[in-house]
Amino acid sequence: MSTSDGQSLLQERSSAGVASLTLHNLATTVSDLDTAVAWYEDMLGFVCEVRMPIPEGEVAILQGAGVQFELLAPSSMAETPLRFAALFADPPNHLLPIGNKFLVFQVDDLAIASAELAARSVEIVWREKELAPGWVATAIRDFDGNLINIFQRH
């Protein structure tokens, strides 16, 4: 195959390759699957679509906020799950470890959402804080300490 043929094939496939990329789901490991499923259902309104064993433990697939969220519990592994304190540091030190920081959602009315979360006794890191011009957010932690940010544009 000539170079021009290879480039032509690559151009034809490009719309079906990386250019077709969409978000499939988000995933996180949890310390206790029962507690995690209940927390995301009760606090954020997710719905558990399926729950099943996997070789490493168990998985639950939740739907909500326009995303599919995969909760993984490594309960069948010989090793003990690890928790790295630096990954759960309070802001602004949460920015120091390289890697994921927040699960981020957006709402129409942050004041109402913040009040609802407070009424549910969710741990609030900051409430209705302007992070940048036009962006206000409430940050919370799930039961495992993972950071979740809820934005509103204005």
Q: H-helix or E-strand containing 128?
A: strand 123-132
What is the tens place of the pLDDT at every residue in 99-111? 988 999 999 999 9
CATH 3.10.180.10 fits 24-77, yes or no: yes
Q: In this structure, what DSSP letter does residue 88 have?
A: G
How much is the CA Rg of the chain, to the nearest whole Å? 20
| Confidence band, pLDDT 50/70/90 cuts, at residue 5 | low
Dihedral sign from CA coordinates of 12, 18, 21, 27: positive
Residue 103, phi then psi, degrees to nearest 5? -90, 125
**Residue carrying structure tokens 């032509």:** 8
> What is the model's pTM?
0.86
| CB contact set of 115 (below 8 Å; sequence gap of 6+) | none
Q: CATH 3.10.180.10 in the chain, residues?
A: 24-77
Give CA–CA dist 112/108, Å, rounded: 9
| CB contact set of 101 (below 8 Å; sequence gap of 6+) | 94, 95, 147
- Looking at residue 21, its pLDDT comes to 87
CATH placement of domain 86-154: 3.30.720.110
What is the tens place of the pLDDT at every residue in 89-99? 999 999 999 99
